[in-house]
Amino acid sequence: MTTTRRSVLGLIGASGAALVTGGAAQATPARVPDDLRPGGAFDRYVKEQADKDAFSGSLLLTYRGRTVLARSYGKANDTAPNGPDTLFAMASVTKMFTAVAIAQLVQAGKLAYNGKLGAYLTGFPAAMADAVTIHQLLTHSSGLGDPFTWPDYMATALTWTSPEQVMDNTTDFIRRSSLAFTPGAGFQYSNAGYHVLGAIVAAVSGQTYYDYIREHVFRPAGMTSSDFHTRPQWHTDPRIAHPYATQPSGGRADSIDQRLYIGTPAGDAFSTCADMTRFACALQGEKLLNRAFTHVTLTGKTPLSPPTAPPNQPPPPKPPLGFQCYGPMTVLANNQWVTGHSGGAPGTSTDFQMYPDSDWVSVFLSNIDYGHGVVPAIPGKIRDLITA
């Protein structure tokens, strides 16, 4: 299950100097801040959080393609610790793969960003089919909402036992939903919109969404460990980290059985830190899209709205300047663009960021959620140190 964007013992991962793509060890680059090096302030901070049971997962920082810091803490499941090869549910970071697939099909002349939903999928009411565009689906401005908040969706979805049921039945739920606003007239983070984009990928390509992503995103990016796994595989494959969700009591419990049978175009592909770094290299290196469409995908389209304070509360801190791109979001931090996506669900916290101005990539994958407060602070510290 994916909702919004946005431990145990021991140090497992090694700090590093090896290239992410494998091969001989390389010296850590000279211009790496001391605080980001192995044994530096950030490394010590993460270990402190793991020691306090406030972080479980893996992280990888690379600079110019070389590993600067790689760490893994906590348990993946009952039989294995988290390590550099552990597969994590990506939550909403999966939307990046869906957006790249759409861009590939536009690049090939099979889709248009201003194309209407009804030109590609049937059965939607006219208010959606004749008004919602690919651009609006990509930028969360379609008016479609979040199936995970709809009455009866999860209770029904947990009974599905095939990828076809997950894709087709979720699409049917969306067909029966209502728009929150006139398409193009607002912004609402939309898992439904990205699911529809995945259904369009399948309809236009003639492949299942899952096979398309495997063949056209994972394979050319060299993401040999990444895939969409089913709930039974999640239970039994020791390589996959189980999601330990925060409970009302404050403890954590394995929440696999509260997730869909398989992930959707909106969330829960599985990947590793190294594979996500390969994705960044392939995307920015124009191996997935040509130069023009790489630029179109990774540049801002609509400004992100600042957060609002609850009634009678002081205003929140002013956020950095940010824009919704076609898939990722990009923010200006200390005069550097930071482009990527985060994700969260019960038992899952993820963050993936590219720093095109300085050639950094950060990947943070955790199999615990925001309930204990520390997890979302770690990616923020990474950004602050890289852009300082």
What pLDDT band is residue 373 in, cutting at 50, 70 and 90? low
DSSP state of 110: S
- Protein fold of 52-65+76-305+318-331+339-359: Beta-lactamase (3.40.710)
**Tens digit of pLDDT for each residue in 336-359?**
999 999 999 999 999 999 999 999
**Tens digit of pLDDT for each residue in 184-210?**
999 999 999 999 999 999 999 999 999
Q: Which residues contact 22 (CB under 8 A, 6 or more apart)?
A: none
Q: How many helices (H) and strands (E) does the chain have?
A: 13, 12
- Which regions of the chain does DSSP assign to beta strands (E)? 57-63, 66-73, 88-89, 244-246, 252-254, 270-271, 302-303, 321-324, 329-333, 336-345, 348-355, 360-366
Query: Residue 14: is its pLDDT beyond 80?
Result: no
Q: How far apart are the first and last CA of the chain?
A: 35
What pLDDT band is residue 370 in, cutting at 50, 70 and 90? confident
At 110, phi and psi to the nearest 5? -95, -15
Contact 381, 35 (CB under 8 A): no
Q: Where are the domains of the chain?
A: 52-65+76-305+318-331+339-359
Q: Which residues is 332 bridged to in the sheet?
A: 321, 337
- Name the residue among 267, 285, 295 with its Cα closest to residue 222: 285
Q: Which residue has the higher pLDDT, 7 or 155?
A: 155
Q: Average pLDDT in the 46-68 region? A: 95
Contact 349, 366 (CB under 8 A): yes
| Cβ count within 10 A of residue 349 | 28
Sign of CA dihedral 231, 235, 236, 239: positive
- Name the residue among 142, 362, 154, 339 with its Cα closest to residue 264: 154
What pLDDT band is residue 122 in, cutting at 50, 70 and 90? very high
- Name the residue among 368, 55, 344, 373 with its Cα closest to residue 241: 368
Tell me the DSSP string of 289-351. Answer: S-HHHHHHHHS--EEPPPP-PPTTSPPPPPPPEEEE-SSSEEEEETTEEEEEEEEEETTEEEE
Q: Average pLDDT in the 261-287 region? A: 98
Q: Which two tokens stand for residue 293?
A: 């469409």
What pLDDT band is residue 320 in, cutting at 50, 70 and 90? confident
User: Identity (one letter) of the amino acid at 48?
Assistant: E
Q: How far is 274 from 61, CA to CA, in rounded Å?
A: 10
Q: Which two tokens stand for residue 17?
A: 């100097």
Q: Which two tokens stand for residue 228?
A: 């969409």
Q: Average pLDDT in the 27-56 region? A: 87
Q: How far is 136 from 341, CA to CA, in rounded Å?
A: 18
Rounded to 10 deg, the angle between the 291-298 and 273-284 helix axes is 120
